[in-house]
Amino acid sequence: MKQIKKWPLAIAISSALVLSACGGGGGGGSDDTGGTGGAGTAQPQSTINGTAAKGIVKGGLVKAYLVGANGKGDLIAEAETKSDGTYSLKLPSSYSGQALLLEISAKNGTLIRCDIAICVPKSDSTEAVTFGTDFSAPANFKLLAISPGVTTDTVQISATPLTSIAADLALATLQSSPSADPKQVALSSNTRVANRFNLQSDLTALKVVDLTDARAVAAADSAQAGYNLVSAAVASVPGKSMLEAFAGFAAQYSKDGVADAASSAGGPSIESILEQAVQITAQIEAQAAKQKVDLPALSSVKSNLEAGKADAALGSTTPSKGAAPADLGLEGLPATKAFVQQVRDLANLAVLEENLQGFREEVELVAQLNAPEAKASTKAVSAALRAIAQALEENQNGSDANSFEYDGLTVQRVSANYFVRQTVDTAISEEGQLRTIPVYLDLAAKVNYSDEIVEEGLEEPDYFDPHYDSAEGSWTQAGTAEADISLEGSVATDQVTINIKTGSLLKGSLVVDNSSDWKSTYYGNDYDKERYEITDLKTLLDVKMVVSGEHYVSFDGKLELDINNLKFMSEYTDGNDYDESNSELSVGHAGLVISGQLKSEQNYLEASASLNAADLAGTCIENEYYSGQLKDISDCDASDSGVISLTVSYAMHLHGMNYPIKVTANAKNNGLESIIGSASLNYEDGQRFDLVYNGKQGDLQSATLTNHNNVTLTLTEAKQDGDKTLTGNITWQGKQYATLDDKTGAVIITYNDGEFESL
């Protein structure tokens, strides 16, 4: 008969480890006077629509000023924000396309909705202002946005903390360089701030989302949600009020910029800001749970934020204000031809033999970390952690033994410290064959554990003779548990050494609900039911891994695992002539971040990867029937409702370039079937490419490529009778300026001025 599992912590750790197994740059200045800019003439009575948010600003004053050589000029329009933060400004007919400065300020009754965990800390006289709460804007409140100018009937210009920082940067530039073109300075400043935070170039046009409204977040796409989270996070500093933190960061950015990695001197960094953005997602998820709202885009947003944070941690501690490309502001046909040259330059660099060889070697670096000895090492660590957890819980159940044996592992205990020091033979599958690898473990874990688990009833005996003994009973185990485990030590095989550094930890809480009804007779039966719920589990492993042998490679970095609402439920029935088992596993959210430095004798790669899974579920039904012979019937299904998002970020070093191109790649799997991918390439000089793969529809698949001047190439590949054809067009602001096809065997681009060239 089946013995019910009574190791809640061990089950929790095992589930988490199985799930994880399945499952910086920047800098340099720019010439603000570069580019072409160009003045335009607006249509009479142009309208500016937008939203003011730090968070949502209700009843705020909105004023539009012309921007001249010395900065802020004449007031030309006024409005007021509505209850949702939106506003509409009607520009006068005399306006002729000059650069504009929008200023949002407070009046009597202006309210701000808090969009971070705590906007105003608690004091002796007042309660804290928390997420989703409105509070009065102080008299000196101000948000800014700067625009190169309006040349259409209607335009979107919103004001947020990031647009305000860009406006401050532009005004400072105009003060120091009165001869600079205000339109080009406005465009450049918005681009520099956007590039610094790895966002789309046009900050003012990105949609503002009320982060406190779960339905609004659910309706936003990944780019919109990510932008608003970062914009909110720049004003989130623990212990400071939101407006105080924002003012401090704005002043810091205007003076020096912001560094990638946090430094010992303190102060905001890209790393700390993205960490705060991740924290805000927890507030949004809690709100969504109350409102019973699904958040389909949040999984990929969290992957982006976590990978960006890990990448920034590997970056520089020197502040930077971001960069803008020299051709920024090109329009129409000139912008289209410059875009084609940018694509050609990248393609030419990518096919150089030196670069192809470099790509192969970087791929091999990653592959070598997945060597059989590495797999055996991580599997042995998992087994040791489970053994430590079981030893702990036996100690909690009253055993005062100092040595425990589990599955071939010996766990020694000294007070709250547990040790595994031995060689264990670990079996792994290699090319379809089982292979046993000796792994030496030297692990130490300090465990703080508490629970409120209550056991009642009579447990099934470990052994009985059904011909002579007869017994029956019921047993329950229910309650909650908390664990905090610090881990350090080393793991080694003949070819792999893993050092787990001080500071590594596992921390979490779970809910237990088990029961068993049993009969110990020859014709008896046994019914067991168990449920474990990991409400919160965090794992941080700080490791150095060295693979020696024929190919030397090392990894020095971190692995972070974060799991919320993992639920495991099972039912087991043991009858006279059959066994039946049903189990379900579901995960509310699981996040895995890996970041660090990969090195071989010749190559070096700095990279980070973030995987987020949400709303995953699976069921298994197993039956065993005894009717003269054994029959096994097993069926397991994975739910198609899950969302898995993956973000990978690394620096691409190309022979022929003086600086690396930062690559951020994203993949999103909806329902375990539909895959959507995207990537961005950020050059140190401010150039940018954004690639979106739109997926397949029948024999067609398409993708778009957009650069920093918002020139977009749309490619469509068709397959018919085994042949593939490529067609596409290049547009700017919705107007087509070129087409392309490969009818001649080469990709030919034809411009609307009659010129053509091959790509």
Tally of CB atoms within 10 A around 291: 11
Residue-wise over 658-694: b if at least 16 C-beta within 10 A, else e?
Answer: eebbbbbbbbbbbeeeeebbbbbbbbbebbbbbbbbb
Cβ burial of 438 (10 Å; 0-12, 13-18, 19+) is middle
Q: Say how far apart CA 420 and CA 87 lie, in whole Å.
A: 64
Query: What average pLDDT does this structure show over 609-637?
Result: 63
Residue 498 has pLDDT above 70, yes or no: yes
High-pLDDT (> 70) share of the chain, %: 82
Q: Looking up tokens 């053994």, which residue turns up?
A: 387
Band (pLDDT 50/70/90 cuts) for residue 469 is low
Query: What average pLDDT does this structure show over 486-514?
Result: 90
- Per-residue model confidence (pLDDT) at position 75: 97
- Per-residue model confidence (pLDDT) at position 295: 86
Cα angle vertex 399, ends 394, 404, to 5°? 60
Strands (E), 432-495: 433-451, 454-457, 471-492
Residue 185 has pLDDT above 80, yes or no: yes
Task: Please name the helix (run of DSSP H) or strand (run of DSSP E) that holds residue 49, with its range, or none.
Answer: strand 47-51
Q: Say how far apart CA 353 and CA 392 lie, in whole Å.
A: 56
Taking only Cα atoms into account, the Rg of the chain, rounded to an integer number of angstroms, comes to: 30
- Per-residue model confidence (pLDDT) at position 581: 78
Q: Are 20 and 594 in contact (CB under 8 A)?
A: no
Band (pLDDT 50/70/90 cuts) for residue 477 is confident
Q: Quick: pLDDT tens for 557-605.
A: 888 888 878 888 888 777 666 677 778 878 777 888 888 888 877 777 7
Q: Which of 212, 204, 207 is nearest to 222 (CA)?
A: 207
Task: Please name the helix (run of DSSP H) or strand (run of DSSP E) that holds residue 756, with its range, or none.
Answer: strand 756-758
- Per-residue model confidence (pLDDT) at position 521: 58
Residue 412 has pLDDT above 90, yes or no: yes
Band (pLDDT 50/70/90 cuts) for residue 650 is confident
| Cβ neighbours for 744, distance < 8 A, ≥ 6 positions apart | none
Q: Quick: pLDDT tens for 226-282.
A: 999 999 999 998 889 999 999 999 999 999 999 999 887 778 999 999 999 999 999
Q: Are 613 and 566 in contact (CB under 8 A)?
A: no
Q: Quick: pLDDT tens for 696-750.
A: 778 888 889 999 999 999 999 888 777 888 899 999 999 999 999 988 888 899 9
Q: Say how far apart CA 545 and CA 490 lie, in whole Å.
A: 10
* Residue 94 DSSP SS3: coil
Q: Looking up tokens 């095989």, which residue turns up?
A: 493
- Per-residue model confidence (pLDDT) at position 464: 53
Q: Quick: pLDDT tens for 291-323.
A: 889 887 788 888 889 989 998 998 899 999 999
Residue 628 has pLDDT above 80, yes or no: no
Domain extent listing, the chain:
8-23+354-683, 47-323, 688-758
217's tokens: 């977040």
Cα angle vertex 431, ends 429, 435, to 5°? 40
- Per-residue model confidence (pLDDT) at position 3: 44
Residue 494 has pLDDT above 60, yes or no: yes
Q: Say how far apart CA 57 and CA 113 lie, in whole Å.
A: 7
Q: Which of 539, 581, 530 is nearest to 558 (CA)?
A: 539
| Cβ neighbours for 54, distance < 8 A, ≥ 6 positions apart | 112, 115, 143, 160, 161, 232, 235, 242, 243, 246
Band (pLDDT 50/70/90 cuts) for residue 18 is very low
Q: What does the DSSP assignment read for 692-738?
A: EEEEEETTEEEEEEEETT-EEEEEEEEEETTEEEEEEEEEETTEEEE
Query: What average pLDDT does this structure show over 223-227?
Result: 93
Cis peptide before 71, with omega less than 30 degrees from 0?
no
546's tokens: 């060295």
- Per-residue model confidence (pLDDT) at position 346: 79
End-to-end alpha-carbon separation of the chain, Å? 70
- Per-residue model confidence (pLDDT) at position 25: 37
- Per-residue model confidence (pLDDT) at position 21: 44
- Per-residue model confidence (pLDDT) at position 642: 63
Q: Are 518 and 526 in contact (CB under 8 A)?
A: yes
Residue 641 has pLDDT above 70, yes or no: no
Q: In this structure, what DSSP letter does residue 229 have?
A: H
Q: Say how far apart CA 638 and CA 175 lie, in whole Å.
A: 61
Q: Quick: pLDDT tens for 74-116.
A: 999 999 999 999 999 999 999 999 999 999 999 999 999 999 9
Q: What does the DSSP assignment read for 621-639?
A: EEEEEESSSEEEEEEEEE-
Q: Which of 689, 744, 695 is nearest to 713 (CA)?
A: 689
Please state, rounded to an integer, the average pLDDT across all residues of the chain.
Answer: 83
Q: Can you name the residues that pair with 711 across neighbouring β-strands? A: 732
Q: Are 389 and 10 in contact (CB under 8 A)?
A: yes
- Per-residue model confidence (pLDDT) at position 749: 94
Q: What does the DSSP assignment read for 22-44?
A: H---------TT-S------PPT
- Per-residue model confidence (pLDDT) at position 138: 94
- Per-residue model confidence (pLDDT) at position 22: 41
Q: What does the DSSP assignment read for 555-613?
A: EEEEEEEEEEEEEEEEEEEE-SSEEEEEEEEEEEEEEEEEEEEEEESS-EEEEEEEEEE
Q: Quick: pLDDT tens for 151-169.
A: 888 999 999 999 999 999 9
Q: Quick: pLDDT tens for 63-74.
A: 999 999 888 999
Cβ burial of 463 (10 Å; 0-12, 13-18, 19+) is exposed
Q: Say how far apart CA 541 and CA 191 lie, in whole Å.
A: 37
Q: Quick: pLDDT tens for 515-557.
A: 877 766 555 566 677 777 888 888 888 988 888 877 788 889 8
Query: What average pLDDT does this structure show over 323-336?
Result: 94
Q: Can you name the residues that pair with 685 across neighbouring β-strands? A: none
Q: Quick: pLDDT tens for 31-48.
A: 443 333 444 444 457 999
Q: Looking up tokens 């629970």, which residue turns up?
A: 451
* Residue 261 DSSP SS3: coil
Distance from chain centroid for Cα 703: 23
Task: Write the CA distances from 682 to 31, 553, 668, integer angstroms.
Answer: 18, 28, 21
Tally of CB atoms within 10 A around 372: 17
Q: Which of 301, 307, 116, 113 is nearest to 218 (CA)?
A: 301
